[in-house]
Structure 1
């Protein structure tokens, strides 16, 4: 079993996603499930970026599901720069989709913590922030597979879709959690690692990027057996000084 995440800017502006765009995506998710996904969800809305996450029980359906997600994004898009950055060959790859995938142990529910970033002139340090978030989760009890979209080499292949280059920004980090009681521990560790950086800000889903240029915003989602939970308000409450 696999979980795949597609992070992409398909908005028509640089700071937010319109209600119409979000509705269009949500109304189309069934098309991904028809192509072989157990379920597909809009898990993160971060500034002008969205993340679609799908769980695939049959690994042979990976390319079909990936293509279905890409096709949905093309159909719903109001802006096309990231989509146009996907090349058919490695030589054509440009700044495109932030793609990552993990293996899910089928002995457990497909639960995960998903962190998505949006940069406003913060491209110079956002990849390092994402790496620190991933490192913070690794080694915690009940963490399964984990991955991020950051491209260490020059080119990444998105199976069934095409190729993107290391110019791709606005990374996505996904961590499988095999004990639901550890979800808060994992998410809290990742958030702490991110917020320790300068100019990083936690936001609710669907919040515009109201920040000074040179900043990074991020959202944290728990995906629990297909249910999408925005963890920002929960942690905001928990971190109040008593």
Structure 2
């Protein structure tokens, strides 16, 4: 490493060096903070909206969970992004709670991967509020799990002028409510809410909420009941 550093060309002198150094510092300061979100995620906590006092970590471990396709409040977030969001939710659950089994089947897998017909079937659970007895029974039987997880999400972006660097400063916010529903009763046994905001430089504004996904969903998973 030292040899590589010693072999690097000498920095330019005078006003040109100072100009390049200032431009470099401005660029670094304006870069997206996606990595920081992952590192600081362990300090984030969701707002707990509902929790059943009888709901325990043992219930989660022995009952198994199913992570449903995510539901956005806008059609601007396409199937690919929705699939990335669901994949990162599963990753967050496996990384933070390896003791909780995650259930699935072939149809459910296709739904999570963005197949529209299969996805629409599972999204009906959101419309019903997770309380329709016949659908709950079907879910429990076909997926062999006691709990399923609903994610209601909202994604917003705002753009602020280009300035001297030429790019736009884009601020994105992902807000969501995650609910765990017991298939035996249709009751919401745990529910939390959280909002994640990031900013950076971009010249094109596209909905990419998946940039928030791993630390965002990890926040919820760490809020679920844990072993005493």
TM-score range, shorter chain: under 0.3
In terms of fraction of residues, the more strand-rich structure is 1
Which structure dedicates a bigger proportion of its chain to helix?
2
TM-score by length of 2: 0.26
